[in-house]
Structure 1
Amino acid sequence: MKVIPIFFMACLISACSSNSNTETGDEYEYIETPTSDQIADLLDDDRDGVINARDLCPGTPQGSEIDNDGCGEYLKTSQEMQIRVLFANDSDEINPVFTQQLSELSEFLEEYPSTSIELQGYASRTGTAEHNLDLSKRRADNVRRVLLQNGISPNRVTIVGYGDTVLASTGTDETSHALNRRVTATVVGYKGEVKKEWTIFTTLPKS
């Protein structure tokens, strides 16, 4: 008589276990699978190989050598560019022949916004040292004014005047004097590798 109840109890336990598994399976089917939100920006707008989420220097010029943060390396030394504006004797006025070339210089600075530039003014030895120093500064300042008129930020362009202390030519003829009445430019520092350069010349006065 005791065998039947034991068998009956075993069936009940088995049935409960089966129902429990079935209910659990149904619950899993109705649980909504969570979806992860995409927080990081996986795009690479400047195409430098570093995604936007990790790029600390967006807008890097294409072809620049960059580090893991998407930034180009700073130059350790300044680089003098091939720019030369020549002036008439005892004058700080910029000849219109340089207008297009100075526009190209402005475009260069706009293309590389991390660039700053120093303009150096010079004079020939045809006047007093004090006068030539002032004249050289005014020449550099006038070139700076053109760059600012073209939209370049003032804090990116500095000037320095050397007067007649640094000569491009040591001769005493008119050609040598003309070469010494000049403004040159030096790129103080920039990111990446910039290969563009420009040259500004003018015709010398006829003898």
Structure 2
Amino acid sequence: MKYTIIGLLALSLFGCSLSVPHPPIAKQTKNLFDNDSDGVINQRDHCAKTPLDAVVDNDGCPTYVDSSEENSIHVLFANDSSVIAESYIQNIKQMSAFLAKYPKTHIELKGYASPVGNANYNVALSKRRASVIRQALINEGVTPARIKTVGFGDSDPVKTSDIEESNTLSRRVIAQLIGYQENIVKEWTVYTVREN
């Protein structure tokens, strides 16, 4: 007890303070706002307009996943004709919808003729056939600059055991396309609604 009293007297003599100094005020030098609400501050955000539901990387940029899809057009014509049969209109509409879904995709329509008649005439006929399909796609809303046509004439007939069948299948316009698209990976939250 004697030592406790001496210790208290010593503390009071040396002026021990019980008050704590205030910490220094920190000066904010960086913009800590997050204007697009993606969880990355503006100072570090390299993609300023990220969609709200996107999964983002450390730079605030959305994560993408590539997807692709194939589509084709195959239209047959009658002998010495460039008139589109009614049965092929749906195929043209599907190609138009495909091109609308993939706006960066271009199409090359390849026209052919059967090896009947003059070769020069068949080249012109195959070009007319490709042009007719081109116009049908334009009528469905496809931009003309996205469509190229080529006429091959009778240079590549479809080979079958029957000559008549071979000629029928050779009178055609074809195109094969692959559409590529980058889709943003979306993050799931308790507020996410499932798409049907």
Confirm or deny a common fold (TM above 0.5): yes
Q: Deviations over 1:113-133 (max 9, x none)?
A: 232221110001122100000
Once the two structures are TM-superposed, the CA of residue 166 in structure 1 deviates from its matched residue by: 0.5
Q: Which residue of 1 aligns with 2:109?
A: 119
Q: Does 1:139 align with 2:129?
A: yes
TM-score (normalised: structure 1): 0.59
Which residue of the other structure, out of 150, 163, 179, is the alignment partner of 1:172?
Answer: 163
- SS of the residue 2:96 aligns to: helix
Q: Which residue of 2 aligns with 1:36?
A: 32
Determine which structure has the larger strand proportion and give its number. 2
Q: How far apart, in 1, do the equivalents of 2:96 and 2:117 lie? A: 32
Q: Does 1:97 align with 2:90?
A: no
Is contact 1:54–1:70 with CA below 8 Å preserved after alignment? Answer: no
Once the two structures are TM-superposed, the CA of residue 109 in structure 1 deviates from its matched residue by: 1.2
Q: Which residue of 2 aligns with 1:181?
A: 171
- SS of the residue 1:72 aligns to: strand
- SS of the residue 1:191 aligns to: strand
* Number of positions where the alignment pairs a residue of Structure 1 with one of Structure 2: 157
Is contact 2:96–2:137 with CA below 8 Å preserved after alignment? Answer: yes
Q: How does 1:67-106 map to 2 (within 5 A)?
A: 70=64, 72=66, 81-106=71-96
Task: Note closer, same or farther for the CA distance 1:37–1:50 as it changes in structure 2 (3 Å cut).
Answer: closer
Q: Which residue of 1 aligns with 2:61?
A: 54
Q: Which residue of 1 aligns with 2:7?
A: none
Q: How far apart, in 1, do the equivalents of 2:88 and 2:31 lie? A: 61
Which stretch shows the higher mean deviation, 164-173 or 91-100? 164-173
Is contact 2:113–2:126 with CA below 8 Å preserved after alignment? Answer: yes
Once the two structures are TM-superposed, the CA of residue 90 in structure 1 deviates from its matched residue by: 0.8
TM-score (normalised: structure 2): 0.62
Query: What is the identity, as a one-letter code, of the residue corresponding to 2:64?
Result: G
Task: Note closer, same or farther for the CA distance 1:74–1:137 as it changes in structure 2 (3 Å cut).
Answer: same
Is contact 1:40–1:53 with CA below 8 Å preserved after alignment? Answer: no
Q: Which residue of 2 aligns with 1:110?
A: 100
Q: How far apart, in 2, do the equivalents of 1:98 and 1:45 lie? A: 43
Task: Note closer, same or farther for the CA distance 1:143–1:38 as it changes in structure 2 (3 Å cut).
Answer: same
Q: How far apart, in 1, do the equivalents of 2:132 and 2:75 lie? A: 11
**Percent pairwise identity:** 34
Task: Note closer, same or farther for the CA distance 1:99–1:41 as it changes in structure 2 (3 Å cut).
Answer: farther
CA RMSD of aligned residues (A): 3.9
Gap regions ≥5 residues in structure 2: 1-13, 39-49, 183-196
Q: Deviations over 1:131-175 (max 9, x none)?
A: 0001101111111111112111222221111100001135432x3
